[in-house]
A = this chain, B = another copy of it.
Amino acid sequence: MLFKKRGKVSIKDVAREAGVSHATVSRALRGSPLISPPTTARVKAMANKMGYSVNAVARSLVTGKTHTIGVVVTSIADPFVGGVTAGIEAFANERGYSTILATCHADPETEKRMVASLRERGVDGILVASSRVGTEYCSMAAEMRVPIVLLNNQRPGGYPDSVTIDNVGSAQRAVEHLLELGHRRIAYIGHSLGYASECDRRQGYELALTSAGVALQPAYILQADSTPESGATAAATLAALTPRPTAIFCYNDITALGVLAYSREQDLRVPQDWSVIGFDDLFLSQHLYPPLTTIRQPMDEMGREAAKLLLGLIAGEEIAADVRMPGELIVRQSTGAVGH
C-alpha cells in the first residue's frame, strides 16, 4: 500500500501523504531554512514512516555531482594496494564520498579503459595508483573535465597532481644505514620493468654510494621482478661473486623475501654473512626470519593524502600539489655490522 509498483517510495508519494508539494518535501528533508519547523517535522515523520530514502541517481542527474570517486589500482589483493586503498576509502567516507574500485592489472590500456568507464559513471574525481600511463592524464583530465590524481605514478615525466613516496631519499637512507654498519660491497636487486620508482630507488642507491666515495660495481646491480623466486635467483648470482657483497638493498620486501629464503636454503646467515634490506614494510616483513630491516611506506597516510588532494581538486581548489611522502627506516634483525 505504501509502495508503488516501481518499488521505492518517491518524494511525490511522501508529498501526497503529507499534503504538501514535492518541492517542499525535497527542501524539508534536506533541512532547508525556508520550510517552517512544523512542516519540516511533519514531512520528516511521514518520510520516515513510509520508509523513504533518496534516490541518489536522480539527485546526481540534476546536481551534476555523484559524491563518488573512482580508484583504479593494479590489484586489490596486493597488500600494499590494500593498505593504500584503506586510507583512500576512509578519508573519502569521512567526507561523504563513496569509492568505486577498478583494477587494471598494471596494463596501461586497461588502465585507460577503466578511467574512461569511471568517467561515464559520473565519478567526481579519479585516483589512480601506480599508474602506467602517467603524463598522458594531463590532457585526459582536461578533456574529460574530471580531476585526476596519481599515487606513486610509475611513469617518468611527472604529473601535477600526485602523491609519491620519496623513493630517491628513502633508498639513499637505506643504503646509508648499510654504510654506517661498515658495509662497502653493497649490491642492489631492482625490478626489470623500468618503473619510475625503481629508477628512483636505484638512483638513491647510487647517490648514497658515490657520496660515500664507494665506486659502483656493475656486477652488484641486478634485476628481478618483484617475486620471491626472482629475488632468490638474483641472490644466487650475487652469492657466486668474488668478492661476495656483504649487503643487499632490495627494490621491495617481496624481493628481499626471496633473498632471505635463498640464504636459509644455502646456510648463508643473515645478517652475519650478508645483510638484507627491503622497501615497503609489508605486514609480513616483521614476521620473517630474521625480521626484515626495511623502509616503511606510510600506506594509510599516503592514501588519505591522495584522497584529500583529490577532494580538494573536486571542490575547485586550484592547488597543483606534488606531495612527496617521507619513507621511514625500520631497523630490524636482517642488517648488522659488516664482518660479524
A interface, CB within 8 angstroms of B = 6-8, 51, 53-58, 60-61, 64, 66, 68, 75-79, 81-83, 85-86, 89-90, 93, 98-103, 116-122, 143, 145, 228, 257, 261, 264, 283-284, 287-289, 299-300
List the 8 closest pairs (A to B, CB-CB), nearest first. A284-B284, A289-B289, A77-B86, A82-B82, A57-B122, A7-B145, A56-B121, A57-B60
One of B54, B56, B120 near A53 (C-beta < 8 A): B120
**Which of chain B's residues has its CB closest to A85's CB?**
B76
Check A100–B98 contact: CB distance below 8 A.
yes
Check B76–A79 contact: CB distance below 8 A.
no
Check A120–B54 contact: CB distance below 8 A.
yes
Beyond A82-B82, A228-B287, A261-B287, 18 additional contacts (C-beta under 8 Å) are A7-B145, A8-B145, A55-B61, A55-B122, A57-B66, A57-B121, A61-B61, A68-B100, A77-B79, A79-B79, A86-B103, A89-B102, A90-B103, A98-B100, A98-B121, A284-B287, A287-B288, A288-B289
A145 to B120, CA, bound (A): 26
A276 to B117, CA, bound (A): 47
Question: Shortest Cβ distance from A38 into chain B, in angstroms?
Answer: 26
Check B287–A53 contact: CB distance below 8 A.
no
A75 to B87, CA, bound (A): 10
Decide: A82 near B89, CB < 8 A? Known: A98-B100, A120-B55: no
Check B93–A51 contact: CB distance below 8 A.
no
**Which of chain B's residues has its CB closest to A71's CB?**
B101
Determine the chain B residues whose CB is within 8 A of the CB of A121 once the complex forms. Answer: 56-57, 68, 98
Determine the chain B residues whose CB is within 8 A of the CB of A261 once the complex forms. Answer: 287
Check A76–B89 contact: CB distance below 8 A.
yes
Determine the chain B residues whose CB is within 8 A of the CB of A283 once the complex forms. Answer: 79, 284
A14 to B72, CA, bound (A): 30
Check B98–A99 contact: CB distance below 8 A.
no
A84 to B98, CA, bound (A): 20
A258 to B261, CA, bound (A): 20
Q: What are 27 A-B interface contacts by the 8 Å CB criterion?
A: A6-B64, A7-B145, A8-B145, A51-B143, A53-B116, A56-B120, A57-B57, A57-B61, A57-B121, A58-B61, A68-B121, A75-B86, A76-B76, A76-B82, A77-B79, A77-B299, A79-B82, A79-B283, A89-B102, A90-B103, A98-B100, A98-B101, A98-B121, A228-B287, A283-B284, A284-B287, A288-B289
Determine the chain B residues whose CB is within 8 A of the CB of A99 once the complex forms. Answer: 100-102
Question: Shortest Cβ distance from A100 into chain B, in angstroms?
Answer: 5
Determine the chain B residues whose CB is within 8 A of the CB of A101 once the complex forms. Answer: 85, 89, 98-101
